[in-house]
Structure formats: C-alpha cells, structure tokens
Amino acid sequence: MSTVAIIGAAGVQGAQVGDRLRAAGHDVRLVETGDGVQKLRDRGLEPTTLEDAGRDADAVILAVPDGAIKTVAAAIEQALAPGTVMVALDAAAPFAAPLCARDDLSVFVAHPCHPSMFTTALGPDGRRDYNGGIVPQDIVCCLASGDESAYAVGEELARDMFAPVARSFRITLDQFILLEPTLSETTAATLLLTIREAMEEAVARGVPADVAKAFMEGHIMIELAIFFGELDASFSISADYAVEQARDKLLAPDWRSVFEPDQVRAVAEAIADGKVPAVRIT
C-alpha cells in the first residue's frame, strides 16, 4: 500500500477519495487550508501541512477544481520528494501544459467511466449506482509524464479510488482529452441537453409532463441499446426517415470540428486556466 497526500481533502471529491483509500489500507495524509481545516475536524479527521504530507508520500492527489490544478501543482512540486507521483483526476490541465518542471516527478491521470447505462446490478438499498463505488465500473488511466514505474503506483490508487473496478484501460494523454471533455461533455452532454429541451418543448405544446418523461426515458434506452449494439435490432424505415429529415436541422454539418486539435486545445486551456464562465445548465 502507498502513502498518499490529498490536496483539497475536505471537498466532495477529496473526501470521497480519502475515505476509499483509507478503506483500502493506504496511509492517507489530508492537506487543507482555510475553512477546509475545520471541515476535516468536524469529520474527526486531522489535517496536516503540505510539507509534512509530501515529505515521504508516494503520491499526491490533486482533488481541486480543474481551474486550480495548474496553480496548485506549481505551488507544491518543490515540497515533494523525488519519485513522487502527482495524480490529476481530469485530463484538461495536464494536456494544456506540463504540471511540473521537475524531471524526478511523474504525472498520472485517472478518471472513472462510471457504471454502464446497461448495468443491471443495484446497490444494497435497491437503487442504481450512477457514479460508481458500489457497482463495478471501468476506469481510464494515463501516464502523462515521468518514469514508467509510476504507472503501477497510479493505477493501484485509481483502482482503490474508484473501486470496485471491472477493467482498467491505459491510453495516451492525447486520447484522454478526446474522451473528456470532447466526447463525454462537449458532444454527449450537449446532445442530451437538447433531448431534455425537446421533451420540455413537447410539454409546452400540450403533452402531459409525466407522459413525456416516461415516453422519452423508455425510448432513449431502447434507442441507445440499438445504436451501441446491446440489442440485435434496427429502427423501422419510418424512424430512419424521421432521423434523416431532422439531422441537418439539429446538427451543424461541421459538428465534428469539435474534435479538431485546435478546438480541443482551446477548450482544455480555458478549463485549465479557470477561464470558464460561471454558466449553469443543470
């Protein structure tokens, strides 16, 4: 097991990661400042200073907002012992620019896939596990920079942070940024938001809300099952016609440009620099 320091240990992500790593037997040191110190103590946990936490840590987890990762990494790297693995939980910041200047530190990125929409297993209370932690999920890992031996350290932590884990995939940093935010958020979340807005439009035009929701949820599942090969079936000819008639109205012809390198990098840099407008859609 590893000695792990968590920066931002009192936040939602940091607290979850810390609990799971302690449960797996790791020696976990909690680093916080300001109000976070009292939040830890309210949970019966004692924070430590970065200097003490990082002195002999095998890994340091950056459980801070995306826009703060670059700043925090630059501030802490001199306090870390040679060979320490710096773990980021998203790819935007390490993709936008190297997180540390020291050659004797490594940067590892890990992110959960979350339980599949086709998973039938439920938690002990009978509810579906959307985030992971109860139902097995896959994870994606990347060694962004540093010594190859750091990969095993990072993957062990990722398996424990996101346990139970079914499969662990290793990809490159360039591939990681295409998964998130480009595929999961830029593309999928945008289209799903459009689906919700379409449902709301049907309601506004007279369909009862509970009917529209029930109809949409069921149809989304069977359509996803067909598109993703979970169901050996196909759409009807009339459904195919409806899709083709609507594609040019719902999608710009050049929508794949969101995957072009300059666009991908621009989004990653904005996220890493904390320049994302505070606009909420949910």
Spell out the per-residue pLDDT of the chain, length 282, in tens.
789 999 999 889 999 999 999 999 999 999 988 888 888 898 988 888 888 888 889 999 999 989 999 999 998 999 999 999 999 999 999 999 999 889 999 999 999 999 998 887 777 888 888 889 889 999 999 999 999 999 999 999 999 999 999 999 999 999 999 999 999 999 999 999 999 999 999 999 999 999 999 999 999 999 999 999 999 999 999 999 999 999 999 999 999 999 999 999 999 999 999 887 766 666
User: Distance between CA 274 and CA 33 in Å, rounded?
Assistant: 20
Kindly write down the DSSP assignment for every residue of 193-213, as one continuous string: HHHHHHHHHHHHTT--HHHHH
> In the structure encoding, which two tokens stand for residue 261, read together?
């390198």
- pTM equals 0.92
CB 135 within 8 A of CB 85: no
Kindly write down the DSSP assignment for every residue of 137-162, as one continuous string: EEEEEEEEES-TTHHHHHHHHHHHHT
User: Distance between CA 68 and CA 45 in Å, rounded?
Assistant: 24
Residue 68's nearest CA partner among 136, 145, 14 is 14
Peptide bond into 124 cis (omega under 30): no
Q: Could you report how far apart the first and last alpha carbons of the chain are, in Å?
A: 39
> In the structure encoding, which two tokens stand for residue 41, read together?
């103590």
